[in-house]
Amino acid sequence: MAKMIGAKILVESLIREKVEVIFGISGGAILPVFDVLYDAPIRFILTRHEQGAAHMADGYARATGRVGVCMATSGPGATNLTTGIATAHMDSIPIVAITGQVPTYLVGNDAFQEADVTGITRPITKHNFLVKDVKDLARTVKEAFHIASTGRPGPVLIDLPKDVQIKETEAEFPREVEIRGYKPTYFGHPGQIKKAVQMISKATRPVIYAGGGVIISGASKELIQLVEKTSIPVATTLMALGAFPENSPLSLGMLGMHGTEYANYAIMDCDLIIAIGARFDDRVTGSLDKFAPEAKIIHIDIDPSAIAKNVQVDIPIVGDVKNVLRELNKIVKKPAISGWLKQIGEWKKNHPLTYKRNGKLKPQYVVEKIYEVTKGEAIIATEVGQNQMWAAQYYQYTKPRTFLSSGGLGTMGYGFPASIGAKVGCPDRMVFDIAGDGSFQMNIQELATCVHNKIPVKVAIMNNGYLGLVRQWQELFYKKRYSAVSLAGNPDFVKVAEAYGAVGIKVEKEEEVVPALKKAISIDKPVVLDFLIEPEENVFPMVPAGAPLTEMLRGLA
């Protein structure tokens, strides 16, 4: 065993974890690591803000299925990562965040650029570490990647004091780790699976409610096989878009607050919900006491704490979704549901997802044209708000890991850096960020990162001059008292893009949309498309907060 300083041990551990890229910003408390990175075969992408770095690691992880890595210095560098870490935590995304820290002998002394990073991030990480002894470092890194990527994934933070980075020890790199008390259950109980099969066989109005766990588990193929065997229709959450092909006749699209009318009618009228890797969050259920009143519930999830957390279930199955569906598919039988499928067909015919065309530039139209021009093959990242919902509703997702969005935390400023991370991880894929003019400005500085590193993502800004979804709520529920939602003073996004060295294209009319998109795709550089959409266009359907899913606002005459 050779002697190595802590910084070298860290970098060597990252290489052994097959880390290809790190996103972040350097600083005094992490300088020894950066000195070692200078000669390492790991690409380091210098971002312009640490929040951007965390979101890039997140986007990389969502698009590739691998662990994303971000790095920052102590104090404000570390605290700037926290929004991105919380975003990953809420959506169960595997990232490892590495932060510098003041020397161990100064910890707790309010030293320059000191912050209690492990304390701050404890509620928003799956686990975190403060490394006090260089001898523990290699094992800590191994454990961090293991915890982040197994069971229900999530972010893990390693806080690394500066003196630990420069101390020397005999380097010993574990090949695997055994963590006491951490034993995720990967295989569902056979008895529970048999009970689920019996319940499915007796159902007359079943619905599959697919959540982000289907994508995380890599279980889209197994979900499709289940549907092929049973003909049970599928409603997906925002996080599960792409888990089941939306061009299938048995797709109900997204359910919940801004879901399709037919998905919401189906979930409320069904007699059985097969919840797969989902958590029954408030945006899906609406009023809990009125949610799916006649339904029995089968709930499959690897995280036992997620089962029956929000709703009572009849058959809980703890296990990895992919493994459970494999066993379920071996014995499941098709229920007699022809009448139910006929009813769903009628709902689809009578309540299609649609919008008014009036000659003005509509955001729904723009998203439809992005889908057509990209032939449904793009990776779509979104910001948060109206742009996010239009992207969810009007781009048809047919493959997993093609829709990246902040679902649980709802983080404005997520989409653009996430699209950069996705493009780095999937360089051969077309990547679009469907953005709002408010959200885009929250991490607009990453245009510099994009241009300097030649990462040719495309940004489609739905520019309505408002914090759009907040304005919509104020219109519908606060008598149009528009308080602090106008974005008057927005910059000229075309000029901003050009100032950074990107390409900017302004679009004001329907007939300009397709030519602009084709031009953007043909340019091998970052492109910002500024779509000047109708300012007060709303997202519909919409279930008011606290209402049952059947009480949807439709917005169409």
Q: What is the pLDDT of residues 107-122, one digit of tens each?
A: 999 999 999 999 999 9
In sequence order, the 6+-apart residues with CB closer than 8 A to the CB of 386 are 363, 436, 462, 464, 468, 469, 472, 537, 538, 539
Give the number of residues written for the chain: 557
Which conformational region is residue 24 in: left (phi greater than 0), alpha (psi within -120 to 50 degrees), or beta? left
Q: Judge whether 58 and 421 are in contact, CB under 8 Å.
A: yes
Q: Is 61 a residue whose pLDDT tops 70?
A: yes
Read out DSSP for 65-90? SSPEEEEE-STHHHHHTHHHHHHHHH
* CATH for 190-350, options being 3.40.50.960, 3.40.50.1220, 3.40.50.620, 3.30.540.10: 3.40.50.1220
Q: How confident is the model at residue 201 (pLDDT cuts 50, 70, 90)?
A: very high
Question: Which amino acid, 360?
Answer: K
Place of tokens 């806080």: 159
Q: Is 24 a residue whose pLDDT tops 50?
A: yes
Q: Judge whether 405 and 414 are in contact, CB under 8 Å.
A: yes
> What span, in angstroms and rounded, lies between the C-alpha atoms of 76 and 437?
27
> What span, in angstroms and rounded, lies between the C-alpha atoms of 243 and 255?
14
> What span, in angstroms and rounded, lies between the C-alpha atoms of 72 and 279?
32
Please give the structure tokens belonging to residue 434: 């469907």
> What span, in angstroms and rounded, lies between the C-alpha atoms of 524 and 417?
18
Beta-strand ranges (E) seen in 410-454 are 431-436
Number of Cβ atoms within 10 Å of the Cβ of 294: 10
Q: How confident is the model at residue 1 (pLDDT cuts 50, 70, 90)?
A: low
What is the model's pLDDT at position 557?
A: 43
What residue segments make up the domains of the chain, in order of their start? 3-167, 190-350, 363-532
Specify the DSSP element, H or E, that contains 338: helix 338-350
Number of Cβ atoms within 10 Å of the Cβ of 534: 15
Which conformational region is residue 120 in: left (phi greater than 0), alpha (psi within -120 to 50 degrees), or beta? alpha
**Percentage of the chain with pLDDT > 70?**
99
**What is the pairing mode between strands 168-170 and 3-5?**
antiparallel
Mean pLDDT within 349-356: 95
Place of tokens 């709520």: 473
Q: Judge whether 207 and 274 are in contact, CB under 8 Å.
A: yes
> What span, in angstroms and rounded, lies between the C-alpha atoms of 248 and 245?
6
Place of tokens 């709802």: 410
Tell which CATH architecture fits domain 3-167.
3-Layer(aba) Sandwich (3.40)
> What span, in angstroms and rounded, lies between the C-alpha atoms of 554 and 259?
11
Q: Is 212 a residue whose pLDDT tops 80?
A: yes
Tell me the pLDDT of the chain averaged across its residues.
97
What is the model's pLDDT at position 2?
A: 86
Q: Does domain 363-532 have CATH number 3.40.50.970?
A: yes
What's phi and psi for 3, nearest 5 deg?
-80, 140
Q: Is 555 a residue whose pLDDT tops 90?
A: no
pLDDT single digits (tens) 499-510: 999 999 999 999
What is the model's pLDDT at position 322?
A: 98
SS3 content of the chain, % helix, strand, coil (to 5): 40, 15, 40
Angle (deg, nearest 10), helices 82-90 and 50-64? 30
What is the model's pLDDT at position 556?
A: 65
Q: Judge whether 215 and 92 are in contact, CB under 8 Å.
A: no
Helices vs strands, H then E, count in the chain: 23, 20
Q: Please report, for residues 386, 421, 435, 521, 543, the alpha-carbon distance to residue 374 in angstroms, rounded to integers and kept in the order given.
A: 21, 19, 17, 9, 31
- Bridge partners, 301 (sequence order): 318
Q: How confident is the model at residue 172 (pLDDT cuts 50, 70, 90)?
A: very high
What is residue 6's three-state secondary structure? helix
pLDDT single digits (tens) 436-477: 999 999 999 999 999 999 999 999 999 999 999 999 999 999
What is the model's pLDDT at position 321?
A: 98
What's phi and psi for 109, nearest 5 deg?
-100, 10
> What span, in angstroms and rounded, lies between the C-alpha atoms of 146 and 179?
9
> What span, in angstroms and rounded, lies between the C-alpha atoms of 204 and 334?
10
**Percentage of the chain with pLDDT > 90?**
98
- Bridge partners, 527 (sequence order): 458, 503
